[in-house]
Amino acid sequence: MTQAPLVSFEGVAKRFGSYIAVQKMDLKIWQGEFLAIMGSSGCGKTTTLRMLAGLEAPSEGVIRLAGKPINDLPSWARDTPMVWQSLALFPFLSVIENVEFALKMRGVGRAERRRRAEQWLDRMQIGEFADRDISQLSGGQRQRVALARSLVVEPQILLLDEPLSALDAALKVRMQSVLKTLQRETGITFVYVTHSQSEAFSMADRVVIMSRGKIEQIGTPQDIYRAPRTRFVADFLGASNIFSGKVARDPQGRTVIATDSGQFALPGNVGVSGQPASLTVLDTRMQIHDQPPGGARNSVAARMVGEEFVGATATIYFETEAGQELRVQKSHEDLAGLPLSIGQPFHLSWAMEDGHLVQE
């Protein structure tokens, strides 16, 4: 028997006057998964989360939680707590009183709510700060209090609206580990809104990418990274070199894409001849040669125009005769022996199966 989704958006749209914040969407969220919704500012991701939380009403369509419509259910009755970007902790309450608050609103007795609050503070490794004022905590400690306050009620689903955006880079990485571990241990469904690719791809089981109020692609981080479905997704992720042109056939009958920078073979019989399309190639899959490569690999001539080093990884930038910028990301060991210098001509190559065709 097929498992029913925990949450389903069925033809859900949201309009603010004439402005369409979310175009009609269908989305299923499964019990126990970590789902990330990402996109640039104004793409509709936060509005989608707010509709699930009951803070915005859909203009059309139905949202179901555990099979039951919740469009008309007030936010306080939905059991969909949210961790905000601002955390929204009560400054006039102590740490443990903040965590107890939701239990108090549910009528849980004092002794029981204190026991459960202490349990979650210990789980979040901040039990020693139980009696402190919120103002005395660091950003990371406040983040853990906000998580404990939401999770102490043991909800089916937890909503998180860019909760790590105010933290420094090192603390973000640590909190990503905390969040993923918590989600796995509790089995609670997490719906996480972010504009950060690193956050979404490091934590989520599935990722939803949105643009201009519509879903562009849903899939595992690996699937989206390796095979973006649209030109927008490929551009948004920023990990691919993109050659735009038209699908054609070469004299051998192979499918190719004809671009200003050259004609490149595609894997399989894909696309329709004459149709505009783009070929994407991950920057980690390209090879750099100081002589034309042999064999059946696709290749393009380009000159080096820049380089960037981050830790053990180097990104080398190139430009083709047609003016297209390309980049190749490699370890320092992979680049050893190449005469890398600005203006130097090279040949970049990739295996045919490393190319992915997307529609314009």
Residue 271 lies in domain: 231-359
Residues, the chain, total? 360
Q: Which H helix or E strand runs over 146?
A: helix 139-151
Instruction: Give 301-347 pLDDT, tens digit per residue.
Output: 999 999 998 888 999 999 999 999 999 999 988 888 888 999 999 99
Residue 8 has pLDDT above 60, yes or no: yes
Mean pLDDT of 118-134: 91
pLDDT of residue 172: 85
**Better-predicted residue by pLDDT, 295 or 299:** 299
pLDDT, averaged across the chain: 91
Q: For residue 191, how many other CB atoms are within 10 A of its CB?
A: 25
Are 134 and 254 members of one domain?
no
Same domain flag for 249 and 222: no
Structure confidence at residue 271 as a pLDDT band (50, 70, 90): confident
Same domain, 29 and 170: yes
> 176: exposed, middle or buried (C-beta count within 10 Å: 0-12, 13-18, 19+)?
middle
Do 147 and 101 reside in the same domain of the chain?
A: yes
Domain boundary residue, one of 226, 252, 281:
226
CA-based end-to-end distance of the chain = 38
User: What is the CATH classification number for the domain harbouring 174?
Assistant: 3.40.50.300
Angle at 50 between CA 230 and CA 12, to 5 degrees: 55
CATH code of the domain in which 314 resides = 2.40.50.100
Q: Is the pLDDT of residue 87 over 80?
A: no
Interatomic CA distance for residues 122 and 350, integer angstroms:
51
Residue 2 forms part of a structural domain: no
Residue 1 in domain: no
Dist. CA 6–CA 65, nearest whole Å: 6
pTM of the model: 0.86
What confidence score (pLDDT) does residue 294 get? 79
- The 3-state secondary structure of 150-173 reads HHCCCCCEEEEECCCCCCCHHHHH
pLDDT tens, residue by residue, 138-164: 888 888 898 899 999 889 999 999 888
Look at the chain and report how many structural domains it folds into.
2
pLDDT at residue 1 is higher than 60 = no
